[in-house]
Structure 1
Amino acid sequence: MKKFIAAAALAAMLFPAASFAAMKTLAFPSDAPVASIAFPESWGPEETDTGIQATSDDGAIYISIDVADGEGTDKAIDEVIAFLEKNGVSVDPATQKQSEDTINGMKMANFDWSGKDKDGPVSIGLSLVSPKPNKLLLITYWGTKGEQEKHAQTLGEIINSLKPAK
């Protein structure tokens, strides 16, 4: 996912205004925001019990950002894998790759895998970001291989819009 996000971020820089006009910025959780992010309205972003989620209008990409306490990275990864499996996504543990990045001043740890869902091969990613002390954002991503690429620019805009709440 890091390579995909890096390519998406580059596309967003090269074509900055192409789809940003239809973006909706959401602070979450709404009762005590720790971060904000912008999604295209067509992706139907919605608040969940633990964060926010959205799916591309063609169903090729699912992304969620959940807020958790800042401890227990291993537990967070296990919970994301369980969530994916519950939703019909199988993760191939042998394909795991790890990387680090920085987004809007926040350190980001990335875990990427290949896997499958009901539509076939998918790219799967989990990124961990700390917007403030003792809070962790779990960014869960899966995208249909061969379809996700057309959303690279929009995904870059989404990720680049993630900011800690003020």
Structure 2
Amino acid sequence: MKKLALLLGSLCLGLSLPWSAQAGQNFTYPVDDPVFSITFPDHWETEVEDDTLTAKTPDEAIEINLWALDHEDLEGVGESLLEQAAGEVDEIIDEWIKDFKLKSSDSFELGGMTFIELTGSGVDREEGEPLIVSVDFFSPDGENLFVLMYWGEPGAENTYANDMKSIVKSIAKQ
């Protein structure tokens, strides 16, 4: 999982939108002109590296990675843009998860933003353990496209259900 954070960070090369951490586990992005904020429970470990925010549960059963896709590398609008973004994330999944199977795709509204969610499962290539994966694409400002990727052990989403709900509900336009 630690290598995953480094890989995700490398996707953001050329992106110069830093994170700002405030009291507790609240982050705004970018610092100079924030477009959204997100809050993690105090007991989660958070780290920002190369414009990628990584958050983990205390037992590391769940890892969340959040980053912006470099809009200069993406062309098109709507479905075409989403297909390009999904292709980029698919490369990450292929590198870190074997036997990945997409189980569902959905969209939902939250805080005036549309989230496109893809969920599936597979096996961690490093540790050989089963994983549940969820990838959400969203744009708080209609210009920047963000990825919220969740990786977790089966059952961990039940253990941390309240934390997960609070994290997702905390995402707010600035």
TM-score range, shorter chain: 0.7 to 0.9
Cα separation, partners in 2 of 1:91 and 1:129, compared to 1, 3 Å: farther
As a proportion of its length, which structure holds more strand? 1
May I ask how many residue pairs the two structures share in their alignment? 142
Aligned twin of 1:98:
105
Q: Residues 91-111 of structure 1, C-alpha deviation per residue, up to 9 Å, x if partnerless?
A: 524x33111101111111111
- Partner AA of 2:56 in structure 1: T
Match of 1:78 in 2: 87
Percent identity, aligned pairs only, is 25
Q: TM-score, normalised by structure 2?
A: 0.72
Q: Root-mean-square deviation (CA), in Å? A: 2.2
Q: Where do residues 1-166 of structure 1 align in structure 2 (5 Å cutoff)?
A: 24-68=25-69, 69=71, 72-86=81-95, 88-90=96-98, 92-93=100-101, 95-117=102-124, 118=127, 120-165=129-174
- Aligned residue identity for 1:65: L
Greater relative contact order (CA < 8 Å, ≥ 6 in sequence): 1
Supply the distance in 1 between the matched residues of 2:99 and 2:37 (Cα, whole angstroms).
28
- Aligned to 2:83, the other structure's residue is in SS state helix
Unpaired segments ≥5 residues, structure 1: 1-21
In the superposition, the TM-score normalised over structure 1's length comes to 0.75
CA contact (8 A) 2:46 2:54 kept: yes
CA distance in 2, matches of 1:61, 1:92: 17
